[in-house]
Amino acid sequence: MSETLAARKCKPCEGGVPPLTPEEAGKLLTQISGEWALIENAHAIQRKFTFRDFYRTMSFVNALAHIANIEDHHPDLEVGYNYCRVKFSTHAVKGRSENDFVCAAKVDLIPLL
């Protein structure tokens, strides 16, 4: 039985490998929450989280940052009073890699206040 994406670890990525094809990305997309979308032009995946207030938004952002630091794979974030838009892409390959989907799967497990 293959392990879930959330159980995997991100692999160090300094480039030199091709990004995922849209088909490969589409297959991995089925293994994370349906709220994530393939952003084709940015070669990324993106999900918007909404919250009741700024306190809850920043609590989530801090939990997300902890995951990014542990995995050494980092999102682009847009943060407002009651929302956080999370975008994962792998800059070293100028596209998407499995790391993006591993981090998205871990972010999906953050308990929301």
- Does residue 91 touch ligand HBI according to CB under 6 A? yes
How far is 89 from 15, CA to CA, in rounded Å? 13
Nearer to ligand HBI, 53 or 76 (CB): 76
- Does residue 39 touch ligand HBI according to CB under 6 A? no
How far is 50 from 80, CA to CA, in rounded Å? 9
At closest approach, how far in Å is the CB of 92 from ligand HBI?
3
Measure Cα distances from 101 to 1, 52, 81, 104, 113 in Å: 19, 26, 26, 5, 23
Single out the residue of 3, 12, 16, 23 in contact with ligand HBI (rule: CB under 6 A).
12
How far is 19 from 91, CA to CA, in rounded Å? 10
- Does residue 16 touch ligand HBI according to CB under 6 A? no
At closest approach, how far in Å is the CB of 78 from ligand HBI?
15
Single out the residue of 43, 60, 90, 102 in contact with ligand HBI (rule: CB under 6 A).
90
- Does residue 72 touch ligand HBI according to CB under 6 A? yes
Nearest alpha carbon to residue 25 among 112, 92, 104 = 104
Burial zone of 102 (CB within 10 Å; 0-12 exposed, 13-18 middle, 19+ buried): buried
Nearer to ligand HBI, 29 or 67 (CB): 67
Q: Which residues bind ligand HBI (CB under 6 A)?
A: 12-14, 72-74, 90-92
